[in-house]
Structure 1
């Protein structure tokens, strides 16, 4: 279990500045969650190669197929770097859901998820991911 002294390090990744800002506002007051970044996908790729290592990434998916391949690659890169990924979409897209889950995303949810449920999901993913890391060592 994550201790109370260890905040969940969260990164928000979305192509739309307004969506990132809205998610930040929704999550800024959540106890035990520290937002370490709010970036677009290109910036996230660069950060994934750095020492940032967030516990959880909220990854906003777009509805455009040519960008989906890049999002799947980003999921793989984040997961390989030790980050649990929660994919968020504006609408249900079965193909996108299957691809990001196969790439290692922990879950796929709609962006209209209510704030308490989103916070609970982030905490659950962080806890599960922390436990997986502990089990490896």
Structure 2
């Protein structure tokens, strides 16, 4: 996939203002990179991405809650709601499971914050082209975890509920009505289920889930 024309539009999501300022200063020295927005919280990130339509989101996993899960959930939401958006995790923490989980949630890349500027810029450009980007330690962590984890997909309780309704032939609107969520949210869950099961249609998702004993 080739990079979009014009500068790569970037949103920085980090709960530390000084980190955002430093990244903006570094990145805007590159003629092909443009920082179009910043966010300190998940809510701010959702709003600024919707408003600015970036190509790449630089995302720290540790946001205001101090837990990894908020950044991971945000990654999943942003990539689910914005087709073609590339999320590059930029964080202090390097853990095998975190790297794999970030990729499962839609991230295209993962680099740690002590990476040098040249490598960070390279990673951003790769993600903007639709490619994957990992620094050497993150890549090693991912390979290690992939070699040691179970191949069974992990579906959330909500996704399992959606899957059961899919098996009953429910549409996105019907799923939303029965689970008291919006049709858009139902569609978001269906897409995640298909991604996790590595299938391309709803029928294939039901078939694959039944083979695995998930429904």
Q: Say if 1:61 and 1:87, in contact at 8 Å, map to a contact too.
A: yes
In structure 2, how many angstroms separate the alpha carbons of the residues matched to 1:13 and 1:60? Answer: 6
SS, match of residue 128 in structure 1: coil
Aligned match of 1:54: 54
Structure 2 residue 15 is the aligned partner of structure 1 residue 15 = yes
In structure 2, how many angstroms separate the alpha carbons of the residues matched to 1:64 and 1:92? Answer: 19
Q: Structure 2: 5+ residue runs without aligned partners?
A: 132-215
Q: TM-score, normalised by structure 1?
A: 0.82
Aligned match of 1:133: none
Structure 2 residue 134 is the aligned partner of structure 1 residue 128 = no
SS, match of residue 30 in structure 1: coil
Deviation at 1:66, TM superposition (A): 6.3
Aligned match of 2:194: none
The number of aligned residues is 127
Larger fraction in strand? 1
Structure 2 residue 108 is the aligned partner of structure 1 residue 106 = yes
Once the two structures are superposed, the pairs formed by residues 58-137 of structure 1 within 5 Å of their partners are: 58-62=58-62, 67-80=67-80, 81-82=82-83, 83-128=85-130
Structure with larger RCO (C-alpha < 8 A, sep 6+): 1
SS, match of residue 19 in structure 1: helix
Aligned match of 1:31: 31
SS, match of residue 129 in structure 2: helix
Deviation at 1:67, TM superposition (A): 2.7
| Larger-Rg structure | 2
Query: After TM superposition, which residue ranges in structure 1, 4 or more long, deviate above 6 angstroms?
Result: 63-66
Deviation at 1:22, TM superposition (A): 1.1
Deviations along 1:78-132, whole A, 9 cap, x unmatched?
2121310110111312232222111010111101111111111111110126xxx
In structure 1, how many angstroms separate the alpha carbons of the residues matched to 2:53 and 2:113? Answer: 23
Larger fraction in helix? 2
Deviation at 1:63, TM superposition (A): 8.6
SS, match of residue 130 in structure 2: helix
Aligned match of 2:44: 43
RMSD (CA atoms):
2.1
> Residues 63, 55 of structure 1: CA spacing in aligned structure 2 closer, same or farther, 3 A cutoff?
closer
Q: Structure 1: 5+ residue runs without aligned partners?
A: 130-137
> Residues 97, 2 of structure 1: CA spacing in aligned structure 2 closer, same or farther, 3 A cutoff?
closer
